[in-house]
Amino acid sequence: MSNQPNCENCPVHHKSNLVRLGIDMDKVDYVVALAGNPNTGKSTVFNNLTGLRQHTGNWPGKTVGRAEGAFSYENDRYKIVDLPGTYSLLSTSTDEEVARNFILFGRPDVTVIVADATRLERNLNLVLQILEITDRAILCLNLMDEAKRNHVEIDVRALSRELGIPVIPTSARKREGMPELVAMISDVASGKYVCKPHRQRNHTPQLRHAIGTLAKKLTDQYPGLPNADWVALRLIEGDQSIVEALQNGILEDLVENTTPMAV
Amino acid sequence: MKEQQKKNTEEILEMANHLKWDLGMGIHDKIVSSLYADAAQIARKTVSMDGDKPAFSLERKVDKVVTSRLLGFPIMFILLAVVFWVTISGANYPSGLLASLLVDTLHPILKNAADGVMPWWLSGVLVDGAYLAMAWVISVMLPPMAIFFPLFTLLEDLGYLPRVAFNMDSLFRKAGAHGKQALTMSMGFGCNAAGVIAARVIDSPRERLIAIITNNFSLCNGRWPTQILIATIFIGGMVSPFWAGIVSTGAVVGIAVLGIAFSLVVSWGLSKSVLKGEASTFSLELPPYRPPRIWQTLYTSLIDRTLFVLWRAVVFAIPAGIVIWLVSNITIDGVSLAEYFIDWSNPFAVVFGLNGVILLAYIIAIPANEIVIPTILMLTVLVTGMSGIGEGSGVMFELDSITSTEQILRAGGWTLLTGINLMLFSLLHNPCSTTIYTIYKETKSVKWTVVATLLPIVLGFMVCFFTAQLWYLFT
């Protein structure tokens, strides 16, 4: 009956919808951050989405500063920011600060966390830290081909349930899983998929109380501050860059910038 | 209003501080370990391993060998030697082919066409100067780069570079520099400008400066041809033909290793004097070995690296070619500017075991190291007044066979000492102008740019002086 092949009608068929825009970043609708441990293939994912050719190489710390590019998908334009790879957001090397400040102050619409499927446990440390900061994240479980080669199996659905965010298995070097990733970025950005990210639960009662007290003080002062608990925890830990953000009024800007968006 | 805000901020900070004291020491560690516990728990629930992970244990075995105390460095040098050997032997034929096309065939055609429509001096500047410089750079540089960069990128893709950094880390730390300097140094073997940019991976400004200043001790791609040619003529020539190839490859690798040694010693000297400080720690992950994607690597290293570097070289070679033609053809009382300079600087140069031709060639070739050898040959022919070789004054050429190159150099009074010192000087002299400009862009400091430019050349003269005096003592 239909003279179109079935693939074309299926909603999973996204090939024609993705338009790589390179560095043409005018009038973007959404901002996507690309975070993750070093050497997990962030730049390869970035190149796949934007059509750019950021240099990729098998050594950690190769992306310096941050690279930006764009793509469009189903009439929406996305700017994508490739952050330097970090193992954590806790200590303060320049790389970690660049990554954290962008996720915290840049308020990306979606944060795609690229993780190495063959070393999931260590990668999860960073994933959990990012989930403390942002609500809208996707785990891009990359290097699935390597995982298969090394006989590592991952229960993707259980992982997604545990983390409370979508998990997309990919092999970016072979472009596998990229259409699914793009579709999910669009779903999370537009609010079609609502994340309920995992938050740390096993704090001691004293710590939980301390966080609660300070967070209340913070929200009294800055109504609408996103992730007040996290800011409170950082302040208790004496994180110097957050203290400075508070003193310089950057934290305030954060509230002001987000309120109109919420309305 | 402002006052009120400030007061509130102070209140919050005070409260945070208070809570921190209430919670006691080690709060940071507790938070981190609870985070890690969560991650471990999730991983346990979702990851399952099948069998006894054969691939991992193989990888670990390979790592044990390539990063072992005993074998780590020999394997590194052997890999280095293999890469050079493939580059040297593989580049020869395409280089000759390109040269015969661009220089032997196209140059006379262009020259005839130009002579028909423009005055002799203009066709000289454009065709004999600018065009030939460009043609030489392309035929001398393109083939080795097209072989070297993909090989290097393959090693990088495979995951060998972090192992090199791992091996070198303790050496660099002892020198007071950052372990990642091993990575930027390796990049410098391709191109010093690229190595200087790569130093951005080092956070501490002190260690980054050290990495930038010492990057020039990595023999860059533009200097390999000089090393290889001179090693073949003067060092390979000392032994029987059977051993010549191995001995000359050994000499080139020796110079490269000497460069690494200088890099370490100078880093040590800097970190004990003007750039004092402790080496900072960093964690370096040994990433898993990954099968490289051969075709993609070939494509990206050709487009992104080879053509990029080549374009830069061509842009700089064209004005240099014009200068060479001009200094050989502008004469005062029948003697060209080039000859004036050579005669004037020769007594000075001999003290360092070099000659005036080499000095002039290095001054002219500041924009691109790759044109040193053609310039030297051209200038030598000019001063010795040889006839029947080459194409006339101020025309850069390179001879088809190594034997005829040798004849010219020997006629110019070259000895084994000149050869050795040229190799040393090629390792230890100022960076090319692109690298100097890149250093300025990266450091934003005239002072450090000047240091990075002058330090190697001063060292070069010192080392050459030393070897020359030793030589004169024993001969």
DSSP H or E run through A114: strand A110-116
Backbone angles phi and psi of A34, in degrees to 5: -115, 110
Q: How many contacts (CB atoms, under 8 Å) link A and B?
A: 162
Rounded to whole angstroms, the Cα distance separating B127 from B329 reads 14
CB contact under 8 A, B23 and A203: no
Of the pLDDT bands very low, low, confident and very high (cuts 50, 70, 90), residue A213 is confident
Rounded to whole angstroms, the Cα distance separating B14 from A213 reads 13
Q: Both tokens of residue B376?
A: 């030297």
**What local confidence, expressed as pLDDT, does residue B223 receive?**
84
Q: Residue B45 CB: number of other CB atoms within 10 A?
A: 13
Residues in B touching A87 (Cβ below 8 Å): 283
> How close B189 gets to chain A, by Cα (Å)?
16
Q: Residue A181 CB: number of other CB atoms within 10 A?
A: 24
> How close A79 gets to chain B, by Cα (Å)?
23
Read off the pLDDT of residues A76-97 as tens digits, 9 standing for 90 and up.
899 998 888 888 887 666 677 7
Strands A110-116 and A30-36: parallel
**Of the partner residues B27, B47, B200, the one whose CB lies closest to the CB of residue A154:** B47
Virtual torsion, Cα B203, B190, B373, B102, nearest 10 deg: -130
Per-position DSSP letters for B343-394, written without gaps between them: HHHHHHHHHTT--HHHHHHHHHTTT-GGGHHHHHHHHHHHHHT--SSSSSTT
**What local confidence, expressed as pLDDT, does residue A16 receive?**
52
Rounded to whole angstroms, the Cα distance separating A6 from A106 reads 41
**What local confidence, expressed as pLDDT, does residue A261 receive?**
36
Q: Residue B328 CB: number of other CB atoms within 10 A?
A: 25
How distant is the alpha carbon of residue B59 from its chain centre? 31
Report helix, strand or coil for A21.
strand
Question: Nearest-CA residue of chain A relative to B159?
Answer: A58
Is the pLDDT at B21 greater than 50? The verdict is yes
Residues in B touching A235 (Cβ below 8 Å): 12-13, 16
For residue A171, CA distances in Å to A39, A177, A216, A234 come to 14, 7, 43, 35
Contact A82, A54 (CB under 8 A): yes
Question: Nearest-CA residue of chain A relative to B197?
Answer: A64
**Per-residue pLDDT averaged across B280-293, rounded?**
70
Q: Indicate the range of A122-131, B255-264, B332-341, B406-415 predicted with least confidence.
A: B406-415
Question: Nearest-CA residue of chain B relative to A145?
Answer: B290
> How close A154 gets to chain B, by Cα (Å)?
5
Backbone angles phi and psi of A65, in degrees to 5: 65, -140
Read off the pLDDT of residues A19-57 as tens digits, 9 standing for 90 and up.
777 767 667 889 999 999 887 888 889 888 888 766 555
**What local confidence, expressed as pLDDT, does residue A1 receive?**
45
**What local confidence, expressed as pLDDT, does residue B281 receive?**
66
Of the pLDDT bands very low, low, confident and very high (cuts 50, 70, 90), residue A67 is confident
**Of the partner residues B43, B55, B156, the one whose CB lies closest to the CB of residue A59:** B156
Rounded to whole angstroms, the Cα distance separating B355 from B76 reads 35
Residues in B touching A59 (Cβ below 8 Å): 156, 159, 161-162, 165, 183, 287
DSSP code, position A61: T
CB contact under 8 A, A238 and B158: no
Read off the pLDDT of residues B341-373 as tens digits, 9 standing for 90 and up.
888 998 989 889 898 889 988 888 887 777 787
